[in-house]
Amino acid sequence: MSVIAQLVIVAAGILFPIIWMVSSSFKSSADVTAYPPTFLFRPTLENYTRLLQTTPFFSYARNSLIESGSSTLIGLLLGVPAAYAASITRSSWPALVTLSARMAPGTLFLIPWYIVFRDLGMVGTYGALILTQAAITLPIVIWVLLPAFDAIPRSILEAAGVDGCGTLRSLWRVALPLVSSGLVIATILAFVFSWNYFLFALVLSDENTKPLVVAAFNYIGEGSTDWGGLMAAATLIALPPLVLAIAVQRWLVAGLTLGAVKG
């Protein structure tokens, strides 16, 4: 079989579950439970209207946006200067800490976080969720930006120093513009991973601060018979990360693997 034919088959296999989810979200309740499965059907928006009307989907979406957006911002504010400083001084501890934070299982952090946040009365607050999600975003920002800063020729930064640029000005005016694509990737990856992260919010959120992924999990428990509504929710939740990732696809793979493949 030719290479192209094999690639088409593999691509179809990868695409099928996503297409099945999206198409099921447009099926009427009779079509979605039909066996054998229906491939041709009259599409309907009833699952989406029911989802948006009978559940507080938009407020969960707002929670997701607040939590992922803020934790991404914190990750950038802390991670960009730290990655820059580590790159200039060639110190390796940020990469090491980043790696350890990425390797440790979530429960390792979650037990002490839960105890401390409970004692502070912060369980269920945006503050607790944003802080814990920032522990996801900060390593990603450092992970992506460290090699990007390392790639800047030292002579450029030294020249900026000679011109009387202070350290902060060198970072802001000289180094940051040179790593702009890395910055975009770091922002998008941090946002997507925070958006997708389930475990911390599962424990630390309440009804008012619940992000979409936790709400989606509750939908499964509440109405496993409403396949259409479930698939409509799944489609809407997957949409933002997919759109963001596809928009920057060319650099995304390099950003995800750079630190690992270079070593």
Partner 1 sequence: MHISASSRQRGALAVLAMPAVLFTAMMVVFPILYTIWLSFRTAPLGHATQFVGFANYAQLADSPQFWNSIKVSLTLYVISLAMQLTGGTYLALLLFQAKRMPAILRSILISPFMVPPVVVGMMFLIILDPSLGAANWVLSLFGIAPSAWLASPEWVIPTVALIDTWQWMPFVALIVLGGLQSLPPSVYEAAKIDGAPPRLVFWRITLPLLLPTLATAAILRTVDLLRFFDIIYVTTQGGPLNASDTLNIYGFHIGFELFQFGYASALAMTLTAMVFGVVLALNRLRRAIDW
* Binding of residue 183 to partner 1 (CB under 8 A): no
| Minimum CB distance to partner 1, residue 168 (Å) | 7
Total of chain residues touching partner 1, rule CB under 8 A: 92
| Minimum CB distance to partner 1, residue 208 (Å) | 20
Nearest to 256 by CA among 241, 243, 240, 245: 245
Q: Which stretch binds partner 1 (CB under 8 A): 119-127, 147-155, 166-174, 177-185?
A: 166-174
Of the candidate residues 94, 147, 182, 255, the single one contacting partner 1 (CB under 8 A):
94
Of the candidate residues 51, 82, 129, 130, the single one contacting partner 1 (CB under 8 A):
82
Phi, psi of 179 (to 5 degrees): -110, 25
C-alpha 193, offset from chain centre: 2
Nearest to 104 by CA among 239, 199, 240: 199
Contact 87, 149 (CB under 8 A): yes
Distance of alpha carbon 176 from alpha carbon 165, whole angstroms: 14
| Minimum CB distance to partner 1, residue 53 (Å) | 20
In the chain, DSSP finds a helix count (H) and a strand count (E) of 15, 0
Is residue 186 classed exposed, middle or buried when 0-12, 13-18 and 19+ CB atoms within 10 A define those classes?
Answer: buried
Residue closer to partner 1 by CB (options 40, 103) is 103
Alpha-carbon distances of 108 from 80, 155, 252, rounded to whole Å: 26, 43, 29
| Minimum CB distance to partner 1, residue 188 (Å) | 10
Distance of alpha carbon 221 from alpha carbon 62, whole angstroms: 22
Of the candidate residues 26, 60, 113, 143, the single one contacting partner 1 (CB under 8 A):
113
* Binding of residue 142 to partner 1 (CB under 8 A): yes
* Binding of residue 102 to partner 1 (CB under 8 A): yes
| Minimum CB distance to partner 1, residue 29 (Å) | 12
| Minimum CB distance to partner 1, residue 36 (Å) | 5
Of the candidate residues 34, 120, 151, 159, the single one contacting partner 1 (CB under 8 A):
34
Q: Which stretch binds partner 1 (CB under 8 A): 41-49, 50-58, 131-139, 174-182?
A: 131-139
Nearest to 47 by CA among 18, 16, 21: 21
Distance of alpha carbon 123 from alpha carbon 205, whole angstroms: 7
Is residue 136 classed exposed, middle or buried when 0-12, 13-18 and 19+ CB atoms within 10 A define those classes?
Answer: buried
Residue closer to partner 1 by CB (options 174, 238) is 238
* Binding of residue 14 to partner 1 (CB under 8 A): yes
Contact 114, 120 (CB under 8 A): no
Which DSSP letter does residue 141 get?
A: H
Residues 197-226 contacting partner 1, CB under 8 A: 198-199, 202-203, 213, 216-217, 220, 224
* Binding of residue 230 to partner 1 (CB under 8 A): yes
* Binding of residue 11 to partner 1 (CB under 8 A): yes
Of the candidate residues 29, 44, 161, 251, the single one contacting partner 1 (CB under 8 A):
161
